[in-house]
Amino acid sequence: MSHDSDAPPRRSRVPAALAGLGFLAVLGLALAGASGRVLTIRPPLAESPAVAAPAPAALVPAPPPERFTAVTSRLGRDQTVAQALFKLDVSAADVQAVVASLKGLFPFRRARPGDQLRVEKRDGESALLRFSYRQGPADEWLVERLPDGTLRGTKRPVELTTEVVRVAATLESSLYETFQKSGENPDLAVLAADVLAWDVDFYHEVRGGDRIRLVVEKVLADGKPLRYGEVLAAEYDGEATGRKRLFRYTAPDGQTSYFDDEGQSARRGFLRSPLRYAHITSRYGNRVHPVLGYNRAHAGVDYGAPTGTPVWAVGDGQVKQSGWSGGCGKAVTLRHRNGYETVYCHLSGIAVSAGKAVAQKQVIGWVGETGLATGPHLHYAVKRGGGFINPLQLKVPREAPVPEQWLPDFREKIAPLRAKLEGDLAAL
């Protein structure tokens, strides 16, 4: 067999075949990928290191609440404010600072037994934090410690308002007890007695079942009752007295007084009695004297009342006698118009001197038991033309009525008072 040395060497077909197969495979994959049938598997991501959650902020404990100690006390008899503070364990330096801070604000001479004191301190501290001094709903003084450590005194501001109210009650016993049981301040009984003093004797004319109605001003301090103002209208309907109705009226000339529905003056020359509240223990006429023990004329009326009860002048006049008067003890005699004289015996003290003028309802002394007396009472007598007369039968005319030219003004002004008195609460 012969060989041709000039012919090119024969190549192997295997690599070419493999290359063709590779090309077809690549082409197939490309076509399959284009048709969306190829699932692409992504290489696994490298695990990221875990991110730690932020650590919770450390809880700061709340400061403990401040605690205070408060002590309340009352001013004692013959005790000063400084003495009371010392008794409440206030240091001498703080007592001095309190007094200095209230100088010019609080009238220390007006401090009275029963006034309320309140001392506040922080627990564990001896220094005064706050001090209050209270004399009533409208009178309170405060001393407070400032941030710089000093003490500052102030008078607490109080809002005063006045409202007009209607008060009605049926008497069971005394006027005083009736108002007290009805929830009103019994001081209202004193005001009512003053207004009706010319027409109603509250010592022996009051009966159970009598009725009283008032239209009165009520003064409020920060919305709480403080005191009564003026009685604007009053009506008393009693078994022994009949119906008495009065209205407070200020005339165009500025004069104020009480008048009935028709404009007749309530004011008379004499009051019915020289005391607001008492009871008759002995009437005018013959009786056995409680000290001397024999029958003798009793030329006046005895009113039983506690020692110290104020005695007022029953009418305008002049002091004829003032001082000791034998069996009458300490006594006052007043001289009035039209020849009348009134005598007030057994007083514990006298408030007027001879020769001085006095006005109706002016306090001239206080009930006592001086002279020939077995207990505290007032012996009241009336003289006319030098002789004694029965005080309980004394008839004194009223003073001048509302002048005719002012009657239209009077009727206009009392109309809402009458409506309020009769129950129309929206009248004023």
CB 72 within 8 A of CB 118: yes
Q: Measured between alpha carbons, how far is residue 11 from residues 20, 21, 22, 50 in Å? A: 16, 18, 19, 60
Show the low-confidence residues of the chain (pLDDT under 70).
Answer: 1-58, 203, 277-298, 424-428
Please tell me whether residue 243 adopts helix, strand or coil conformation: strand
pTM tops 0.75: no
The CA distance from 245 to 243, in Å, is: 7
The CA distance from 335 to 317, in Å, is: 5
For the beta carbon of residue 234, count every other beta carbon within 10 angstroms.
Answer: 28
The continuous run of DSSP H or E covering 189 comes out as helix 187-196
Among residues 168, 136, 159, 141, the alpha carbon closest in space to that of 220 is found at 159
Q: What angle do CA 274, 275, 278 make, to 5 degrees?
A: 130
Domain ranges across the chain: 68-155, 160-259, 279-393
Task: Specify the fold of 68-155.
Answer: Nuclear Transport Factor 2; Chain: A, (3.10.450)
State pLDDT tens for residues 307-362.
999 999 998 999 999 999 888 999 999 999 878 999 999 999 999 999 999 999 89
User: In CATH, what is the architecture of 160-259?
Assistant: Roll (3.10)
| Residue positions counted in the chain | 428
Q: Which two tokens stand for residue 94?
A: 């703080």
Q: Which two tokens stand for residue 105?
A: 């604000």
Among residues 143, 162, 145, the alpha carbon closest in space to that of 153 is found at 143
For 279-393, CATH gives 2.70.70.10
Q: Which residues of 284-313 are buried (b: 16+ CB within 10 A; e: fewer)?
A: beeeeeeeeeeeeebbbbbbbbeeebbbbb
Q: Which two tokens stand for residue 298?
A: 């009793």
The CA distance from 144 to 131, in Å, is: 7
* 68-155 against 160-259: fold identical: yes
Write down the residue that tokens 């306090």 correspond to. 363
The CA distance from 303 to 277, in Å, is: 9
